[in-house]
Amino acid sequence: EVQLVESGGGLVKPGGSLRLSCAASGFTFSSYSMNWVRQAPGKGLEWVSSISSSSSYIYYADSVKGRFTISRDNAKNSLYLQMNSLRAEDTAVYYCARDAQYPRLFDYWGQGTLVTVSS
């Protein structure tokens, strides 16, 4: 069974940093591109970042470019999101999601981790 479990969310002050993790199991993690997708409270879904299976290709939404860094460790079956210079508008539930057979088609999602940016 495919499982994606996010962790690392919490309350952080504006300008602060946070590192999210996503632990994957039930599939060959090193064969899939992975993503972070977020959802602000009461709002819709926003794709944040993607990383290819071997980390060769990395993409970011304009809203986070230069502040967030996606990475992965295939030996540990883990995906990460380093978030720096956090703003109030980064407050959201952050989901880890797996690419299906096409780029940015998400077939499995984690349960999400809440990041709150507030003073």
Partner 1 sequence: EIVLTQSPGTLSLSPGERATLSCRASQSVSSSYLAWYQQKPGQAPRLLIYGASSRATGIPDRFSGSGSGTDFTLTISRLEPEDFAVYYCQQYGSSTGTFGQGTKVEIK
Q: What is the 8-class DSSP label of residue 110?
A: -
Instruction: Kindly state the number of chain residues that form the binding site for partner 1, as judged by CB under 8 A.
Output: 22
**What kind and span of H or E run contains 25?**
strand 18-25
The alpha carbon dihedral of 93, 96, 98, 103 has a sign of positive
Q: Choose the stretch contacting partner 1; rule: CB under 8 A; options: 16-24, 37-45, 63-71, 73-81.
A: 37-45
104 lies in the site for partner 1, by CB under 8 A: yes
Smallest separation, CB 15 to partner 1 (Å): 27
b/e sequence 31-68, b meaning 16+ C-beta within 10 Å: ebbbbbbbeeeeeeeebbbbbebeeeeebbeeebeeeb
23 lies in the site for partner 1, by CB under 8 A: no
What character string, x for contact with partner 1 (CB under 8 A) and - otherwise, covers 58-87?
A: -x-x--------------------------
- Residues at the site binding partner 1, with contacts judged by CB under 8 A: 35, 37, 44-47, 50, 57, 59, 61, 95, 100, 102-107, 109-112
